[in-house]
Amino acid sequence: QKEEWAKLVNEKTLSSDNVQVELAANIGTPADVKGVLENGAEGVGLYRTEFLYMGRDQLPTEEEQYKAYKEVLEKMEGKPVVIRTLDIGGDKELPYLNLPKELNPFLGFRAIRLCLEEQDIFRTQLRALLRASTFGNLKIMFPMIATLDEFRTAKSILIEEKEKLVKEGTEVSENIEVGIMVEIPSTAVMADTFAKEVDFFSIGTNDLIQYTMAADRMNEQVSYLYQPYSPAILRLVKMVIDASHKEGKWTGMCGEMAGDPIAIPILLGLGLDEFSMSATSVLPARSQIRGLSKEKISAHIDEILQMDTMKDVVEFVEQNFK
Ligand code: PEP
Ligand code: MG
């Protein structure tokens, strides 16, 4: 099997009926790019920039960040690289920010909420990203967006920083796509509205499942509610993909679900454009997709979304599309 996978390193990702999708990888540091390329990923679908901020006692400087982003973009040689702005809070703490303890950190002051409030931190990161943008194919993604206003504010800050840089004589790419993570149910529900203003969506199922099922993703006792294949989650995913396509935009997925062999046939059938996963899952996923007919699965999507339980969905996929 490993030998068969190795042959696919330089191949595109095509279904048996020749529908092309993009298989990308998730990374946490520039050093991870090596594994991305060795495993034949076609891009980086999620660069979690939190690691630049963690395990130290002060914020990273603009220069430090610029170097990290530039390195990733250069090493990826023009392939798409989605860099997510700071997603701190929840399970990811930064002691040196001295943020007040919260009763419900996953529902609290985190990610874009913090960035829009602590704008110095946000602007520094955006400047580093914009300066690095000429070294590759950068796409900027905001995490934990719950309302259109948050997206509009974040984007206007990005544009302000871009204009400042241009005025200072710094070169900035003119082709940076700006998208959002869909990981809060309100945003999935409003995807048709968002789709008019964002360039792309990336569905963060790790959080989308936690928030939709109201089940803490770190709590073993409620892990039975963590149901990626539940019709509730699949209907939300469909809403997001359909809304993006209606506006000529694309949808990716960067939660664990994107690399899951049971989920992959369903996601292909739903029309997901980009699957971002851990690098080691890329070749197995490519091999699996080559054996799947998108058209055949699509014909069963309504039936799957009408099923009663996650178990029914899993059984159907295992019997028909594995
Ligand atoms: C997600 O929520 O699915 C995601 C990819 O982000 P993180 O796991 O970093 O919260
Ligand atoms: Mg998340």
SS3 state of residue 89: strand
Ligand nearest to the CA of 258: 1
Structure token pair of residue 306 = 């009408």
Q: Is 227 in the pocket of ligand 1 (CB under 6 A)?
A: no
Ligand 1 atom at minimal distance to the Cα of residue 90: 10
Any ligand 1 atom below 6 A from CB of 133: no
User: What letter would DSSP give residue 108?
Assistant: S
Task: Tell how far the Cα of 46 is from the centroid of ligand 1, in angstroms.
Answer: 9
ipTM: 0.99
Instruction: Tell me the per-residue pLDDT of 134-159, one tens digit each, with 9 for 90 and over.
Output: 999 999 999 999 999 999 999 999 99
Average pLDDT of span 20-27: 98
- Write down the pLDDT at residue 93: 83
pTM, two decimals, is 0.97
* Average predicted confidence (pLDDT) for the chain: 96
Separation between Cα atoms, residue 83 and residue 283, nearest integer Å: 22
Which whole number is the average pLDDT over 171-186? 98
Query: Mean pLDDT over residues 269-274, rounded?
Result: 98
**Among 106, 41, 109, 124, residue whose Cα is nearest residue 77:** 41
* Nearest ligand, CA 255: 1
Q: Is the CB of 48 under 6 A from ligand 1?
A: yes
Question: What are 52-69's pLDDT values in tens digits?
Answer: 999 899 999 999 999 999
User: Where are any strands of DSSP class E within the chain?
Assistant: 13-14, 20-27, 44-48, 80-84, 137-142, 177-182, 200-203, 250-253, 274-277
Q: Which residues are annotated as a binding site?
A: 48, 84, 183, 206-207, 217
Confidence of residue 79 (pLDDT cuts 50, 70, 90): very high
Beta bridge partners of 20: 14
pLDDT greater than 90 at residue 2: no
Q: Residue 92's pLDDT band (boundaries 50, 70, 90)?
A: confident
Which atom, in ligand 1's list, is nearest to the CA of 210? 2
pLDDT beyond 90 at 322: no
Task: Specify the DSSP class assigned to residue 271.
Answer: T
Question: What's residue 89's pLDDT?
Answer: 84
Q: How many residues does the chain have?
A: 322
80 lines ligand 1 (CB under 6 A): no
Residue pLDDT, tens place only, 97-114: 988 889 999 999 999 999
Q: How high is the pLDDT of residue 209?
A: 97
Enzyme catalytic residues: 254
3-class SS of residue 100: coil
Kindly give the distance from the C-alpha atom of residue 164 to the centroid of ligand 1, in angstroms, as a whole number. 31
pLDDT at 91 over 80: no
